[in-house]
Every structure is written in C-alpha cells, then in structure tokens.
Chains A and B, each alone.
Chain A
C-alpha cells in the first residue's frame, strides 16, 4: 500500500449561482503528504468531497489511480475524508461510530484507534454530540488516521484541539505515515504548524488553483527583499512580486521565483536584506484580493 494518485481535470462545481470550484486541474503524486490551503469558502472542502465521492463535479474529471472513484467499491473503501465536525453521526456512541468505520475500512487499525482515544480520555459510551468540540476533533482525527486509507484527507481536523493535542496528532500522523506510507492531503489554517510536514503545497483561491508546487521549491522561491523602498522597487521590477509591505521608508517585497546569483550579489551590495518568506506570508499574499498582482 503506497497510496492513490490524485488527478483532476478542469473540474467545476456550482452551488446555485455560486461557483465553488472553477476549472480546477491538479496532480498529486501517491505516497506523499500534500497541503491544500485556502481561505474560508475557497473550495477546499468541495474539492476534497469530490475525491471522497460525496458528490460529482458539474463538469470535468476526477480520477484516483486513473479511475473515476464515484461508486467504485475499492476506491471508495480506500478513500477517507475526515473533518472536525459535520460528517460523523452525532447521536451515535463513540464505540458504535468506531464499529461502523471498522466495518467500512479494510485496513482499520483498532489498536492505533484505542491508543489515541485512551491517550485523550475519550469516553466510548458517550454519544459524539455530548463531547466537547476538541474531543470531537480527536475522534475524527483518530478515525482518519486509524482507517489507514490509501488516500487519507484531513480537512481542518484540528478545529477545537488545544496546542499540545495538535502537536501529538502531528507526531502520530508522521510516525504512522513513516510506517505505512500513503497519500495524505492536509488542509489547515494553522499553516506555520504544518508547514514542514507538507511535501507539496496547493493553494486554492475563489475556486481556482493559484499555486501547486513542491514545498521545498516554494521555500527557496519565495524571497523577501527588504530595504529602502526605491531600491527595492528597482531591484524587483522584473520579478514576480506577490506583495508589498511598507514600514516608513522601508519596504518589504515578497517575490516568487528563484533569484539569480548575480541578482543576489547586486541586492546585497545595495544593502537589501534577503530572507525566506514563510509559507504563511506567501499564502496571505497569494490569497489577498487587495494586494494580488
């Protein structure tokens, strides 16, 4: 089991007059951890729900390992989408919810599920609705991990978890992923917490893919150039500037693309400071309607 590959071709979904997805074309390689980022309403959950066969696109094609997953018994069994709330049966007891997912998932690891639920003192005899929001998220994240689905999607599954709990789940995710490689898609607003976990980053904005790259490339390609505003302007004139911030006479410009070594030398000679733009910054710049070029 090394995971499913994900392909979408010109996928669109409309809810009434609103376009949730608008011509999304995407390729995600199997066996890696992919990040899907976007602001609220960008279409992340809609895109993931297509991969999970919750619904079909109005137009375009979705394929997992080259096949349409909708109503494909094997692909649907091998695909799991977990969100913090909204999909699990709120009125069922935790142990009954676990039993259902054990029934549905061929690779479900009962020991892993028990281990995680015990660790966070989740009562099995209580109904999901009677747990706190953080506990509900723990249940969802646990089922998502323990299902060991070759395509595992965790959509804002951390909601309501406190920081130590999120940390433990990230560690559990990484440990289990190392032992049982599979395709994982993580969606989260806490970008700085998952930044180094991701191998690729895809950013959705208003139903479109604005960026889909290797995380390593993104790190080295995103550069902040800081210094006197006029010098920054001249130096970045021919580069892809995705955002500017001014602090008095000092300007910080975030540019995409790997700067040429000669350019770096020249920039440093002019007293400009170069730094790695955190993913969070790139994300904000790319999804800000005000600043986007």
Chain B
C-alpha cells in the first residue's frame, strides 16, 4: 500500500476524494478518526491528520469539534468541478496537442470519442 511517488498524506487525501466521487462516502457521513485511520492502515497518526487537514482546507471535509470529521455538504460537486477542470487542462490538452502533431483531424477525434462514450453509457 502507498507505493506511489507522492507523500503518503497526499495519497490518503486522494483516496478519500476517490471514495467521495464514487459515492462510497456520502455527504454528511462520518470519516474514520485519525487514530482509527492510523491503526487500520498502520501509518503515523500525524500523516493521517495531515491528509485530513488538506481536505478540510479544500472544504471537502468539515470538522465538528469533539465529534469527528464529516464529508462536507457539496463536497461531491466541488470535487467534480475541480476534476473536470483538471481533466481538460492536464489530460485532454496534451492529447489534443499530440493528435495535432500526428495529423489526426478533429473529425477523427470526435468520431473516436462518440464511439467510446456510447460504449461507456451502455455499461
């Protein structure tokens, strides 16, 4: 576990974002405490706390003093918005550049996208 090149707290934060996006964690759900997270995955509590702090700063999680951490209202929308922006900037833009360099036309690209998006919808 945690084999990526990023610091572990970023990997934890990313994992929780993923769970919220897939619906495994619903808005208003309580998230495990730092201690529970630390013992479950056998990581340092400070690392887990750092991940939670990151998500609180992004307003994905909210802290209720003395009770624990909860998924914030609107967290899913905020995450989706952030992801969409990142998707176009970081994923699609290089693809488009590469396609232009290879001489792939806009028509070819859109045809490809239509086929594959239809398959995705069928699943």
Contacts and interface: CB of A to CB of B under 8 A. Distances in A.
Interface stretch (B3-11, B67-75, B85-93): B3-11
Given A196-B8, A219-B8, A275-B5, A175 B35 contact: yes
Contacts of B44: 33, 174, 196-199, 215
A98 to B, nearest CB: 25
Nearest to A170: B42
Contacts, number: 54
A220 B5 contact: yes
Interface in A180-221: 196-199, 215-216, 219-220
Interface residues of B, number: 20
Given A216-B7, A219-B7, A220-B5, A199 B46 contact: yes
Contact of A174 (B1, B5, B42): B42
Nearest to A275: B5
B39 A276 contact: no
A175 B39 contact: yes
Contacts of A131: none
Contact of B42 (A197, A215, A220, A275): A197
A132 B6 CA distance: 41
B42 A196 contact: yes
B87 to A, nearest CB: 20
A109 interface: no
Interface string A28-54: 000011000000000000000000000
Given A175-B38, A178-B34, A178-B35, A197 B43 contact: yes
A178 B43 CA distance: 11
B50 to A, nearest CB: 9
A274 B3 CA distance: 12
Contacts of B38: 174-175, 178
A171 B41 CA distance: 9
Q: Give the size category of A's interface with B.
A: 20 to 34
Contacts of A270: none
Nearest to A216: B7
Interface string A267-289: 00000001110000000000000
Contacts of A216: 7-9, 47
A182 to B, nearest CB: 12
Interface string B23-46: 000000000001100110111111
Given A174-B35, A178-B35, A196 B43 contact: yes
Interface of B: 1-9, 34-35, 38-39, 41-47
Interface of A: 32-33, 167, 170-171, 174-175, 177-179, 196-199, 215-216, 219-220, 223, 274-276
Top 6 A-B residue pairs of the complex, sorted by shortest distance between their CB atoms: A178-B35, A178-B45, A216-B7, A196-B43, A171-B39, A276-B5
28 contacts: A33-B44, A167-B42, A174-B35, A174-B39, A174-B42, A174-B43, A174-B44, A175-B38, A175-B39, A177-B45, A178-B35, A178-B38, A178-B45, A179-B35, A196-B2, A196-B42, A196-B47, A197-B43, A197-B44, A199-B44, A199-B46, A216-B7, A219-B5, A220-B5, A220-B7, A223-B5, A276-B3, A276-B5
